[in-house]
Amino acid sequence: MPAIFGVPGGGSSLDLIAAAKARGIPFHLSRTEAGAGIMALTMAELTQRPVGVLVTRGPGVSAAANGLANASLERAPVVLVADAMGEAERGFATHQWFDQAAMAAPLTRAQLCAAAMGPGEAAGRALSAALGAPRGPAYLELTGEAARAAAADPAPWRAPVLPVPSADEVARARAMLAGARRPAIIAGLEAATGERAAWVRRLAEALHAPVLVTYKAKGVLPDAHPLFGGVFTGGEAEAPILRDADLIITAGADPVEFIPQRWRFAAPVLELATAAPALGYAAPALRLLGEWAAVDLAPARAAWPDGAVARHRAAWLALLENGPSGNGGISPSAIVRLAQGAARESGADPRAAVDAGAHMFPCTSFWQAERPGDLLISNGLATMGHALPAAIAAAIHDPARGSVAFTGDGGLLMALGELATACAMRLKLVVVVFNDATLSLIDIKKGGRDLPGRALDWPEVDFAQVMRGLGGAAWRAGNEPELGAALRAAFADGGPALVDARCDPSSYGRQIAALRG
438 binds ligand TPP (CB under 6 A): yes
The least CB distance from residue 21 to ligand TPP, in Å, is 33
Closest CA relative to residue 354, chosen from 385, 330, 333:
385
The least CB distance from residue 67 to ligand TPP, in Å, is 11
439 binds ligand TPP (CB under 6 A): yes
Q: Which helix or strand (DSSP H or E) is residue 509 part of?
A: helix 508-516
The least CB distance from residue 335 to ligand TPP, in Å, is 11
Q: With beta carbons less than 8 A apart as the criterion, state whether 436 and 505 touch.
A: yes
418 binds ligand TPP (CB under 6 A): no
Write the CA distances from 155 to 12, 112, 126, 407, 430, integer angstroms: 19, 13, 10, 41, 41
424 binds ligand TPP (CB under 6 A): no
383 binds ligand TPP (CB under 6 A): yes
333 binds ligand TPP (CB under 6 A): no
HSE, side-chain direction, 13 A CA sphere, residue 354: 27
Phi, psi of 201 (to 5 degrees): -65, -45
356 binds ligand TPP (CB under 6 A): yes
442 binds ligand TPP (CB under 6 A): yes
Of the candidate spans 160-168, 195-203, 206-214, 383-391, the one that interacts with ligand TPP by CB under 6 A turns out to be 383-391
Helices (H), 10-166: 12-22, 33-47, 59-63, 65-73, 100-104, 114-117, 119-131, 144-149
362 binds ligand TPP (CB under 6 A): no
User: What are the contacts of 121-124 at 24+ separation with CB within 8 A?
Assistant: 121/155, 123/79, 123/152, 123/154, 123/155, 124/154, 124/155, 124/156, 124/157
The b/e string for 205-233 (b: 16+ C-beta within 10 A; e otherwise) is bebbbbbbbbbbbbbbbbbebebbbbbbb
Q: Which is nearer to ligand TPP, 231 or 433 (CB)?
A: 433
Q: Which is nearer to ligand TPP, 424 or 437 (CB)?
A: 437
> Residues in contact with ligand TPP, total (CB under 6 A)?
20
The least CB distance from residue 438 to ligand TPP, in Å, is 6
512 binds ligand TPP (CB under 6 A): no
Q: With beta carbons less than 8 A apart as the criterion, state whether 8 and 147 touch.
A: no
Q: Which is nearer to ligand TPP, 42 or 438 (CB)?
A: 438
State whether residue 111 is helix, strand or coil: strand
One residue of 19, 184, 288, 358 binding ligand TPP per CB under 6 A: 358
Of the candidate spans 21-29, 232-240, 421-429, 439-447, the one that interacts with ligand TPP by CB under 6 A turns out to be 439-447
The C-alpha atoms of residue 84 and residue 15 are separated, in whole angstroms, by 13
372 binds ligand TPP (CB under 6 A): no
Residue with the shortest CB distance to ligand TPP: 408
One residue of 215, 406, 434, 491 binding ligand TPP per CB under 6 A: 434
One residue of 30, 440, 506, 507 binding ligand TPP per CB under 6 A: 440
Q: With beta carbons less than 8 A apart as the criterion, state whether 384 and 408 touch.
A: yes
The least CB distance from residue 355 to ligand TPP, in Å, is 6
The least CB distance from residue 483 to ligand TPP, in Å, is 16
436 binds ligand TPP (CB under 6 A): yes
The C-alpha atoms of residue 36 and residue 45 are separated, in whole angstroms, by 14
Q: Which is nearer to ligand TPP, 282 or 387 (CB)?
A: 387
409 binds ligand TPP (CB under 6 A): yes
Q: Which is nearer to ligand TPP, 374 or 409 (CB)?
A: 409
The least CB distance from residue 446 to ligand TPP, in Å, is 12
Q: Give the sign of the dihedral formed by CA 276, CA 277, CA 283, CA 287.
A: negative
Q: With beta carbons less than 8 A apart as the criterion, state whether 483 and 330 touch.
A: yes
359 binds ligand TPP (CB under 6 A): yes
Q: With beta carbons less than 8 A apart as the criterion, state whether 59 and 68 touch.
A: no
Q: Which residues bind ligand TPP (CB under 6 A)?
A: 355-359, 382-385, 408-411, 434, 436, 438-442
